[in-house]
Amino acid sequence: MGEVDPAFVQAAEHRPKLKPVEVADEIPVIDLSDFLNPHHKNTQQVISDVGSSCEKWGFFQVVNHGVPAELRRKVEAVAKKFFDGPLEEKRKVKRDEVNAMGYYESEHTKNVRDWKEVFDYLVQDPTQIPASHEPDDKELRILTNQWPLFPADFREACEEYAREVEKLAYKLLELISLSLGLPANRLNGYFKDQTSILRLNHYPPCPFPHLALGVGHHKDAGALTILAQDDVGGLEVRRKSDGEWIPVTPTPDAYIINVGDMFQVWSNDKYESVEHRVVVNSTKERFSIPFFFFPSHYTIVKPLEELLNEQSPAKYREYNWGKFFATRNRSDFKKLDVENIQISHFRVL
């Protein structure tokens, strides 16, 4: 990622020190083997555990999830080779305003961007999204993946991995739907022409770990995020009960799941999308692979009718996911000095 910009150091000095609390209370780890078993021996317990985790934390980890461990390690290996490669090679697949997929690195300016480098690719290639954030603009833009020539097996490994994690995403979608008292396939139709993205994150060692963040505190805009993190760790979740930052202990071969803003709207605030961040390490590099499960661009997001009644009326106005996505993407890419669009902008007062 090159030399450290002096402006980064100067700006980072004004950041609050990062001190997560030491706690015994941790993100739940849920075994999916019963749910994935064709006989579903103890399905109800798994559904109950998922529901309580979504309410209390907005996060949980899953083990025995069906994604082959060797495939995950293969992707981690090709990602390491790619990120260790020459910068000029990585920049051959650099994203731009026209093509939002590919490689990019953080920019250490006076605003202090995230301390990482990234490679993004679509689960469904190509993918259609609105050409602009303007509500009356009906034009669509086609996003496509761009793949590096090295490592040679990079594309094959990434595409195979995406197919396996996508299967897990649908299983989790069913589980969370069931935990809300809905049919298992209630939400599946929204993902027919999904806009989901997989991201390879590389966090190099940072010389100022007490001043910088790998990723600043944020909430995820989509339905679900399925995260693979290595044994270095670094993910922290803001605990709902008291606002403290809680580190997520790495569990071998587990995935960390969190419900995004979309589920907060669908559930009418029953399942809250929770803030999280990533802290950096001064001596060890860190890799993570989030899968952002996004629906089709034409999906209208609003509280689900089945969960509304006189005592619990809709707390959000509906919004179009594609326009929401286009607005966020425009703000993120151009680094506009405006507040990013949030679901709070659609809250019914």
Average pLDDT value for residue range 163-167: 98
Buried b (16+ CB within 10 A) or exposed e, 70-89: eebebbbebbeebbeeeeee
Q: Given this model, what pLDDT does residue 98 score?
A: 79
Helix (H) or strand (E) holding 71: helix 69-84
Q: Given this model, what pLDDT does residue 15 score?
A: 46
Average pLDDT value for residue range 68-84: 97
Range among 9-13, 22-26, 95-99, 311-315 rated most confident: 311-315
pTM score over 0.75: yes
Q: What is the rounded radius of gyration, in angstroms, for the C-alpha atoms of the chain?
A: 20
Average pLDDT value for residue range 65-82: 97
Res. 40 pLDDT band, cuts 50 70 90: low
Q: Given this model, what pLDDT does residue 214 score?
A: 64
Instruction: Compute how many other C-beta atoms are within 10 angstroms of the C-beta atom of residue 156.
Output: 13
Q: Given this model, what pLDDT does residue 57 score?
A: 96
What percent of the chain is modeled with pLDDT above 70? Answer: 85
Q: What are phi and psi of 272, to 5 degrees?
A: -90, 135
Res. 209 pLDDT band, cuts 50 70 90: low
In this structure, of 97-111, 118-132, 143-157, 303-317, the range with the lowest mean pLDDT score is: 97-111
Q: How would you classify residue 296: left for phi > 0, otherwise alpha for psi between -120 and 50, otherwise beta?
A: beta
The residue ranking higher by pLDDT, 257 or 21, is 257
pLDDT at 8 exceeding the cut of 80 = no
pLDDT at 235 exceeding the cut of 70 = yes
Average pLDDT value for residue range 77-83: 97
Burial of residue 165 (number of CB atoms within 10 Å: 0-12, 13-18, 19+):
buried
Average pLDDT value for residue range 101-129: 81
Give the three-state DSSP class for 167: helix
Per-residue pLDDT of 212-222, as tens digits, reads 566 778 899 99
Average pLDDT value for residue range 27-43: 85
Cβ atoms 253, 63 nearer than 8 A: yes
The residue ranking higher by pLDDT, 120 or 98, is 120
Q: Rounded to whole angstroms, how far apart are CA atoms 182 and 55? A: 16
Q: Given this model, what pLDDT does residue 341 score?
A: 83
Q: Rounded to whole angstroms, how far apart are CA atoms 93 and 159? A: 17
Average pLDDT value for residue range 181-204: 96
Average pLDDT value for residue range 5-29: 56
Structure tokens at 174: 């069913």
| Mean pLDDT for all residues in the chain | 87
In this structure, of 106-110, 152-156, 266-270, the range with the lowest mean pLDDT score is: 106-110
Q: Given this model, what pLDDT does residue 281 score?
A: 79
In this structure, of 157-161, 227-231, 335-339, the range with the lowest mean pLDDT score is: 335-339
Cβ atoms 115, 206 nearer than 8 A: yes
Q: Which of 220, 75, 217 is nearest to 151 (CA)?
A: 75
pLDDT at 112 exceeding the cut of 80 = no
Query: Is the bond leading into 126 cis (omega within 30 degrees of zero)?
Result: yes
Spatial CB neighbours of 132, under 8 Å, sequence gap ≥ 6: 139, 326, 330
Q: Given this model, what pLDDT does residue 213 score?
A: 60
- Going along the chain from its start, the domains and CATH numbers come out as 6-346 (2.60.120.330)
Res. 233 pLDDT band, cuts 50 70 90: confident
